[in-house]
Amino acid sequence: MATADTAAGVRTVNHWIGGRPVESTSGRSGVVWDPATGEVQAHVAFASADEVDRAVADSARAFTDWRATPLSRRSEILFRLRELVDANRRRIAELLTSEHGKTLPDAMGEVARGLENIEFACGIPNLLKGGFSEQASRGVDVYQIRQPLGVVAGITPFNFPAMVPMWMFANAIACGNTFVLKPSEKDPSVSLFIADLLQRAGLPDGVFNVVQGDRIAVDRLLEHPDVKAVSFVGSTPVAKAIYETATRNGKRVQALGGAKNHMLVLPDADLEMAADAAISAAYGSAGERCMAISVVVAVGKVADPLIDAIRERMAKIRTGPGMDEGNEMGPLITREHRDKVASYLDAAAADGARVAVDGRNDPVCNRPGFFLGASLIDDVKPGMRCYEDEIFGPVLSVCRVDSYDEGLRLINENPFGNGTAIFTRDGGAARQFQFDCDAGMVGINVPIPVPVAYYSFGGWKGSLFGDLHMYGPEGVQFYTRSKVVTSRWPDPGTSKVDLGFPQNR
Ligand code: NAD
């Protein structure tokens, strides 16, 4: 891996440019914590604008040959990458767990869902087929082709340090672009592991570069004239700012933001199934998922038994270091984030909600890492801070409503629109919900409806800025632009001067 040991024995996570690790010269760096112990485990270089320029220049150089590389050769490299990621699932998952904190089985799930995107991109020769209309006019054919954009950048969040980059770069490079990744500074090491695998798969130098860093690196990517498109995933305020800056600079942008995902539980729902789903979707990955369920909307008489069933399950969640077998929930990413998440429990009480389970009382909080036990807030209402903000931690809120219509209104009035789910046995109600709800991804008795790689991922409202969703067919569309060719070949028998506007004959 592209890390170097410092004199103090703490490794430094560096950049990857031109097919090899590159030590930073910026003199700036950040800390990579071990969330399970609360100790510093590495430093991460923060790129200067000059270092970003160097990576972009390298990617721009590589683009000329890469876009001319035959589709079958690109596909072959992706197939090899697929095999390498598959063979290294465990190693990648361990890296994720050590820097993010999620449990090893959860990290294995992240790798599997990322791998799907590489598998999808292996089919690029088929995905890039254009259309052809023979005889659009006499002797005239019209066809459409899709061409790559050039250097494209990906800026990714801490919560899926392997999967989200795979959402982006697999399609981007398959389409013939070169890619500069700016990973989250909180868990940066896996980006270099992936860069190394790509090189072993046969990817030419410069097609995939990594610049580590913070806002300085991001700002330079957003203004660099050779960066043609930006894919971003992260919190809503940053997504909005990135969308505005990058579009102002003439770039194509897809910026996926934060979420507040509601799960509507109708009185006829299978209660056990709904309670299992709420627990899995609220507390998996310690709630640090953009598709986590953070609000249960309980309709009518289902509320009390549902809350009892949820509490019963909460008491059994095993929280502890993600590397230890049997643990189901790990720590949060940093101490600062853990404290911020916990502060919503006090805010909830102050705003008139009822803290039914306070995770700060969980014995796991006595450990040195950034732990917080699973928490539950009842009687939550719009206007309360715990409802309005994305908490991004193991805190589940319950809103009690009297009817489907009231629940739907709550969901549709929320400024986020990433995912939502309905739990019911009534097919008609489920179909109505699918029709009515303002969200980009909908689950019917499925709490985390992350689309498979051959569909596309994206929310509505404050959860996405831009037109196209990420990965799948819309990913291919995002990373290419179309060109329509109208062609005719010399035929002495039909050629004549005609100054009229071309029309079909
Ligand atoms: P974040 O917005 O803090 O950071 C995301 C990326 O942007 C990182 O690479 C970071 O270095 C960079 N960044 C941060 N602040 C910046 C600034 N002011 N200017 C320029 N760049 C900046 O997000 P995070 O904390 O890493 O991730 C969690 C957030 O991501 C949550 O809000 C979550 O909902 C969201 N998320 C959304 C999706 C989705 O698909 N919609 C998926 C995963 C995560």
Euclidean distance between CA atoms 52 and 15, whole angstroms: 10
d(CA 173, CA 180): 10
Provide the H-helix boundaries in 131-214.
163-174, 189-200
- Asked whether the predicted pLDDT for residue 491 surpasses 80, the reply is no
**Which residue in the list 290, 386, 399, 437 is annotated as catalytic?**
290
Q: How confident is the model at residue 7 (pLDDT cuts 50, 70, 90)?
A: very low
Condensed to tens digits (0 to 9), the pLDDT of residues 102-145 reads: 999 999 999 999 999 999 999 999 999 999 999 999 999 999 99
Residue ranges per domain, the chain? 3-257+463-484, 261-444
- Tell me the average pLDDT of the chain: 96
Question: CA of 29: how far to CAs of 89, 336, 473, in Å?
Answer: 29, 18, 37
Nearest atom, ligand 1, residue 236 CA: 32
Q: What is the DSSP letter of 359?
A: G
Residue with CA at minimum distance from ligand 1 atom 32:
235
Give the pLDDT confidence score for residue 501 in this predicted structure.
Answer: 85
290 belongs to the catalytic site: yes
Q: What angle do CA 173, 179, 182 make, to 5 degrees?
A: 140
Question: Which of 191, 210, 221, 233 has most ligand 1 atoms within 8 Å of CB, for mutation?
Answer: 233
Distance (Å, whole) CA 212 – CA 254: 21
Task: Indicate if 261-444 has the same CATH topology as 3-257+463-484.
Answer: no
**What is the reported pTM?**
0.96
Please check the confidence at residue 1 and state whether its pLDDT lies above 80. Answer: no
Residue-wise pLDDT tens digits, 26-46:
999 999 999 999 999 999 999
Any ligand 1 atom below 6 A from CB of 256: yes
pLDDT of 311-358, one tens digit each?
A: 999 999 999 999 999 999 999 999 999 999 999 999 999 999 999 999
Question: What is the architecture, at CATH level 2, of domain 261-444?
Answer: 3-Layer(aba) Sandwich (3.40)
CA distance readout (Å), 36 to 190, 315, 320, 379, 450: 18, 21, 8, 32, 27
Question: Ligand 1 within 6 A of 389 CB?
Answer: no
288 in contact with ligand 1, CB cutoff 6 A: no
Q: Cα(3) to centroid of ligand 1, in Å?
A: 24
Short-list 122, 113, 418, 143, CA closest to 262:
418
**Which candidate, 202, 129, 121, places its Cα nearest to that of 169?**
121
* Residue whose token pair is 């002797």: 139
Verify whether ligand 1 is closer than 6 Å to residue 235 (CB atom).
yes
Class of domain 3-257+463-484 as given by CATH = alpha beta
> Is 293:259 a contact under the CB 8 Å cutoff?
no
The backbone region for 158, taken as left when phi is positive above 0, alpha when psi lies in -120 to 50, beta otherwise, is alpha
Most ligand 1 atoms within 8 A of CB, residue of 164, 166, 231, 235 to mutate: 235
pLDDT at 282 over 70: yes
Q: Is the CB of 374 under 6 A from ligand 1?
A: no
DSSP code for 451: P
| Beta-strand runs (E) in 28-100 | 29-34, 39-45
The yes-or-no verdict on residue 73 having pLDDT over 90 is yes
